[in-house]
A and B are shown apart, each in its own frame.
Chain A
Amino acid sequence: MATVSVPAEGARGGLLRRPTATTGFWSWITTVDHKRIGILYGITAFAFFLIGGIEALFIRLQLAQPDGKILSASTYNEFFTMHGVTMIFLVVMPLSAAFFNYFIPLQIGARDVAFPRLNAFTYWAFLAGGLFIYSGFFLGGAPNGGWFGYAPLSTVEPGNNMLFYALGLLMTGIASTASAMNLAVTIINMRAPGMTMFRMPVFMWMALVVQLLLAFALPIITVGLFQMLFDRRFGTHFFDPAAGGDPVLWQHMFWLFGHPEVYILILPAMGIVSEVLPVFARKPLFGYQFVVFSGIAIGFIGFGVWAHHMFAVGLGPVANTAFGISTLIIAVPTGVKIFNWMGTLWKGDIRFTTPMLFAVAFIGQFVVGGLSGVTHAVVPADYQQTDTYYIVAHFHYVLFGGAIFGLFSGVYYWWPKVFGRMLDERIGKLHFWLMVIGFNLTFGPMHILGLQGMPRRIQTYPATLGLGAWNMVATIGAFVIATSVLIFVLNAIASFRRPMDAGADPWDARTLEWSVSSPPPAYNFEEIPVVHSLDELWHRKYAETEGGVVVPVPAGGAGTDPAHDSGGAGPEGHGAGGHAIHLPGQSYFPFVAALGLPLIGYGVIFHLWMAVAGSVVLLVGVYGWAMEPASE
């Protein structure tokens, strides 16, 4: 067994001595372990998923019939805004972050991320931002200007609602920016010996592209949000036509970020699918390099299509044409991925486990969403589609049918690794089928509703429009989805009643995280593995005979027995076992620093002295972080 060293209690530092609790409440507050941080992100994101889902149910109840009376117009505005803000910023992004945090070090063969305390800070800042936005419900009004916050409505409408929006998203933006620096450097710089970039799992490539997208897109929305904040709070005129300003500037700022954002939302799920399909088809990913390059291309081109959200704004035929073309182009690398996934399945030895079902559904549903997206790229067609339920159908197919399904695939796939127990397969399949049926029942009809002229962002519609029937179907579908989510929750709870008996590699998988115990030890790997190929674990377990038949490698031969704990002894190992493994020390200060952020936020809205106090707390956090003794 390896010797793990952590700083001794009270050894140095006095007031700044590092905390050392490994269990209990404070151990979670002070954790810098990427696996714990991943779990925190995952639980919080799931809680927000339930809340965002309830908001959706209210929306569907309101719209089930014409002249709905369940929600007032102003409440409806808050609910549909918060549903969007929640699902995008507080569910899909942090759920992806959960997987990134947990699995990046494990898949690249590292012990932790590049900056463990910064990692902890990003979680607390995200939590602070999410709670801050929701506190609007209790402090005068939740954000109500749509998740996209178009000016001048968002800058002129009375109330503090959009201040919660701007400040809250600035906080979550800080979290994501810091995370981007951290994880990008981790992937580039902390890979195990022998793991070249092209021996990394596809999930790692997608993670890297996402971090770079975040790094370059977030600053733009940061400026936009400050401009919105200043217009509301300090009387500036960024989006004020009366002073010569232009509300369209907000749209550019927003969508310059917003479009890369949607690729930030989908690439992690695509990465998960790229991991899951090969495992359950018992075949390597078809065209690994094409999948990687397509992901990079999507990220890059993703910065060149933003004004396709603005076709009806009046940018003129030249701009519209240019962006229409770039939008059509971006469908190509996406299509390449689809074909490579299909190639992976072709003639594979397929097991339809729950993660596999979710991954396959992802492909089908994402294609539907992608196809409607291509129709939007045809500018004259978009003139009819824009601001209707046809668009709502499109983005739910890619974000729910795509991203959420992909993320659930990851949940079922990686659950045994994180928690040491499997999720029940039969309940999982019930969850899956109910969710597929419910999802398509809810959002399929919206294509029709949109083309029949039902506008977006309205709290009701008159009976004379004939939209009631499909709306009712959609609402029924929404409750089927809700039932399926409930079933998942029951599956999760049930799994914790089982003993931790999943074993290191229950799926007979291909990548390094399955070479360590479930859950992994705090230090991840006894010995940092030396990597010789893509799908390193697979090649340690199996070799191909001359006839091309895959046969297991005898244990103790070229590699390790995956049922056991270690990451490699013998010639594969990195020197003899027994030397101490240094783990990064825990710290209070990421938590303290993050605490300053909502104080600043409330200060900007209510009392400026609170903003000063918040800045002091932030400074104390940062200085403590800088000054505390290094973890030896």
Chain B
Amino acid sequence: MESVHTFESEHEATSTGLPNTKLAMWLFLASDCLLFGALISTYVLYRGASLVGPYPSEVFDIPYTSVSSFVLLASSLTMVLALAAIQRGEMGRMRVWLLATALLGMTFVGGQVYEFTTFYREGLSLSTNLFGTTFYVLTGFHGTHVGVGVLMLLSLVAMSFTGRITPRDTMAVELVGLYWHFVDIVWIVIFTVVYLIPTGK
């Protein structure tokens, strides 16, 4: 069995024995569920309610978006491999996996940008109808979250080169990882609810 055991300790002892930063990150992610829940339920509320087209079935390219989904799922794998690397003290491997994650994230965002510009050319803008309104705002919020994640990943890589991230700093990678996986699970929901569940229109 090749599992690693690490000791999660803190500079100061805490009342629960858990690190402050990780506790804060989980609380933040819990609150972010409310944010995306609001956006997703707005989309669901207005599904099928657009008075004019284009409608989802006219613009969605499911094979294309499935590739995007695979890309983001793969990035969760590379993210967790980056964490495993730093937990083993393998800084070089960590950088490789972090960069891979960032690259996959940028590919995802790039794919979204291409998708949006295609939809736009097909006549779907923010103001065209309820579909455009709810779709772009939901996926835009998600895409922005991914973008922030990419910034954090690249920052970690840069900081590992300047010595600010050392093998002791597994927590930093873990925290960015938690954020990144959260962004991935939100997409899991969006892909199903927005793209795959049919509207009948």
Query: Judging by beta carbons under 8 Å apart, are A216 and B34 in contact?
Result: yes
Residue B133 at the chain A interface, CB threshold 8 Å: yes
- Note all chain B residues with C-beta closer than 8 A to A218: 31
Residues on B with beta carbons closer than 8 Å to the beta carbon of A244:
46, 49-51, 129-130
- Known pairs A189-B23, A243-B51, A627-B164; A222 contacts B42 (CB<8 A): no
Decide: B130 and A245 in contact? CB cutoff 8 A: yes
With contacts A181-B28, A185-B23 taken as known, whether A220 is within 8 angstroms of B155 at the C-beta atoms is no
Interface residues of B in 7-38 (CB under 8 A from A): 12, 14-16, 18, 20, 23-24, 27-28, 30-32, 34-35, 38
Check A190/B27 contact, CB under 8 A, given A219-B35, A223-B39, A234-B126: no
Of the A-B pairs whose beta carbons lie under 8 Å apart in the complex, a sample of 14, sorted by A's number, is: A181-B24, A181-B28, A185-B24, A188-B15, A189-B15, A216-B31, A219-B35, A219-B38, A220-B38, A223-B38, A224-B38, A230-B137, A236-B126, A238-B42
B192 within 8 A of A: no
B133 CB, nearest partner CB in chain A, Å = 4
Q: Does B45 contact A (CB under 8 A)?
A: yes
Given the complex, which residues of B lie within 8 Å of A547, measured CB to CB? Answer: none
Question: In the complex, which residue of chain A has the Cβ closest to the Cβ of B16?
Answer: A189
Q: Are B42 and A223 interface neighbours, CB within 8 A?
A: yes
A530 to chain B, nearest CB (A): 13
Whether, in the assembled complex, A392 has its beta carbon less than 8 Å from a beta carbon of chain B, the answer is no
- Contact A216/B30 with A115-B24, A223-B39, A227-B137 known, Cβ cut-off 8 Å: yes
CA of A234 to CA of B35, assembled, Å = 20
**Chain A min CB distance to B190 (Å):** 15
Contact of A237 among B23, B38, B133 (CB under 8 A): B133
**Smallest distance from the beta carbon of B181 to chain A beta carbons, Å?**
19
Interface size range on B against A: 35 or more
In the assembled complex, B127 has its CB within 8 A of some CB on chain A: yes
Question: Which residues of B have CB within 8 Å of A222?
Answer: 35
Q: Which of B31-65 contact A (CB under 8 A)?
A: 31-32, 34-35, 38-39, 42, 45-46, 49-51
5 further A-B contacts with Cβ under 8 Å, apart from A219-B31, A627-B164, are: A190-B20, A223-B39, A236-B126, A244-B130, A253-B38
Is the CB of A626 closer than 8 A to any CB of chain B? yes
Given the known inter-chain contacts A220-B38, A237-B133, A244-B50, please indicate yes or no for A249 contacting B45, CB distance below 8 A.
Answer: yes
On whether the beta carbons of B15 and A190 are closer than 8 Å, the reply is: yes
A189 touches B45 (CB 8 A): no
Q: Describe A's contact surface by its main secondary structure.
A: helix
| 9 nearest A-B residue pairs (beta carbon) | A235-B127, A219-B35, A223-B38, A219-B34, A236-B133, A189-B14, A215-B31, A114-B20, A244-B49
Interface set, chain A 185-204, CB cutoff 8 A to B: 185, 188-191, 195
Q: Does A182 contact B (CB under 8 A)?
A: yes
* Option from B14, B141, B164 in Cβ contact (under 8 Å) with A190: B14
| B130–A181 CB distance below 8 A | no
| Chain A residues, CB < 8 A from B12 | 190
The interface centre, meaning the residue of A215, A230, A243 with most chain B CB atoms within 10 A of its CB, is A243
**In residues 303-336 of chain A, which contact B (Cβ within 8 Å)?**
none
Q: Indicate if the CB atoms of A245 and B28 lie closer than 8 Å.
A: no
A114-B24 contact given A236-B137, A238-B133, CB 8 Å threshold:
yes
Residues of A within 8 A of B35 (CB): 219-220, 222-223
- Nearest Cβ distance between residue A207 and chain B, in whole angstroms? 15
Docked Cα-Cα span, A522 to B123, in Å, equals 61
Alpha-carbon distance between A181 and B28 when the two chains are bound, in angstroms: 7
* Residues of chain B contacted by A234 (CB below 8 angstroms): 126-127
- Contact between B127 and A249, CB atoms less than 8 A apart: no
Say yes or no: A249-B42 contact (C-beta < 8 A), given A220-B34, A226-B137, A236-B133.
yes
Q: Point out the residues of chain A lying under 8 angstroms from B23, CB to CB.
A: 185, 188-189
Determine the distance from Cα of A182 to Cα of B32 in the docked complex, in whole angstroms: 16
Contact check, B51 vs A626: say whether CB atoms are below 8 A apart: no
Shortest C-beta distance, B174 to chain A (Å), equals 16
The reply to whether B20 and A185 contact each other, CB–CB distance below 8 Å, is: yes
| A184 interface residue per 8 A CB criterion | yes
Does the CB pair A185–B137 fall under 8 Å? no
Q: How many angstroms from the CA of A407 to the CA of B164 in the assembled complex?
A: 45
Cα separation A226 to B126 with both chains bound (whole Å) = 13
| In the complex, chain A residues 142-185 whose Cβ is within 8 Å of any chain B Cβ | 177, 180-182, 184-185
